[in-house]
Amino acid sequence: MAEKRGWLQRLKQGLARSSNSLRERITGVLRRRRLDAEALEELEEALIMADLGVETAAELIAELSRERFGREVEDREIRASLAAAIARILEPVAKPLPVRPEARPQVILVAGVNGVGKTTTIGKLAHRMRTEGRRVMLAACDTFRAAAVEQLRIWGERCGVPVVSGRPGADAAGLAYEALERARREGCEVLLIDTAGRLHNKQALMDELAKIVRVLKKLDPAAPHDVLLVLDATTGQNAHNQVETFRAMVEVTGLVVTKLDGTARGGVVVALARRFGLPVHAIGVGETAEDLQPFAPEAFARALLGLEEETA
C-alpha cells in the first residue's frame, strides 16, 4: 500500500506540468459557469492544447455536451467527468507487459528513436524483473552508440544482470543471436535487447531490425515474443509519426511512454491510445527505477485533470 501511495505521489508530481496547464485552462473557461456552445468550444481547444488530439477532444466534448449542455457547472465537476471519460478510453490499452513462462527466455526487443530513454527504460525494466525474482540478461545491440552500450553496462551492474555487448559498429543481428544463445545456455527467463534508433537513414534501420528478427527466429521461431516501442512524451504529436514509422519496420506489440514529467503534453498518451489501440505497458515520470511503473488508466486520468488527491 505504501508503494502504491508513493507511486501515486510521483505520478501526481510527474504530471504536474500537464495537469496545471489543463486545469488552468478549464478553470478559465468555466468562470462563466454555464456550459454553453462557446464554453464547449474553448474546452475543446484546451484539450487539444494538452495534446489529446483533435478526434479525442471532439469525442470528449460531444459527451459533455450530451450530458450537461446549458447547465450551471463547477470546474471540478467538469474535470471529474473528463477524467472518467479519458479513463474509459485508456482502459482497453492498459495492459502489463506479458510474462511468458513458456518462453525460455522471453525475448523482448526494445525499439525507439535515439534520445527517447530507450536504454534507460531497459535498465528500469530489468530492475523491476530482478526484484520480482526473474533471471534477466541484456543485449547491447545499439552498436553504433558507445554511450548506449556503456549506459546498459552500468544498468547491468546496478541490477546484477549480465550484459552481452560487442565492439563498436559490430553486427547487431549477430550480437542478438549470440545473446539469445547465451541466455538459453544460462537459463535466463528474459532477454531484453536494445536496438538502434537512427531515423536519419530509415532504410538502414529497417534492414537492421528485420535482420535481428530474422536471426532470432533461427533459434526460436516465436522470437521476439514482444516488441516494445519507447516514446518520449515531450515530442507530443510527433509520437504518432514514430509509431507509424516503427510499425512499418517491425511488429510493435506494446508502448512505453517516458518523460511525462518534462512536458505539459501528457494528453498524448490518450491520443495514442485512441488512434492505435496498442497496449501501453508502462509510463515514466522521472529518472529512478521506481519512476517507471505499469500504466494505471484511472490514476493517470485523474492526475492529468488535477484530481489526484482523491486517488489515494
pLDDT digits (tens, 9 = 90+) for 6-28: 767 777 777 887 888 888 888 88
CA–CA separation, 60 and 89 (whole Å): 10
Class of domain 2-93: mainly alpha
pLDDT digits (tens, 9 = 90+) for 212-260: 999 999 999 999 999 999 999 888 888 999 999 999 989 999 999 998 8
Torsion of the alpha carbons at 103, 209, 176 and 131, rounded to the nearest 10:
-50
Question: What's residue 139's pLDDT?
Answer: 97
Closest CA to 304 of 68, 43, 10, 16: 16
pLDDT digits (tens, 9 = 90+) for 131-157: 999 999 999 999 888 888 899 999 999
| Mean pLDDT, residues 263-267 taken together | 78
> Judging by beta carbons within 10 Å of its beta carbon (0-12, 13-18, 19+), is residue 174 exposed, middle or buried?
middle
Look up the pTM and report it.
0.91
The answer to whether residues 280 and 97 touch, using CB atoms and an 8 Å cutoff, is no
Instruction: Extract the runs of DSSP E, i.e. beta strands, from the chain.
Output: 106-111, 136-140, 163-164, 190-194, 226-232, 254-258, 280-284, 292-294
Please state, for a pLDDT cut of 70, what percent of the chain lies above it. 95
Domain ranges within the chain, ordered by starting residue: 2-93, 106-296
CA–CA separation, 288 and 291 (whole Å): 5
Architecture of the domain whose range is 106-296: 3-Layer(aba) Sandwich (3.40)
Question: What's residue 108's pLDDT?
Answer: 98
φ, ψ at 243 (rounded to 5°) = -60, -45
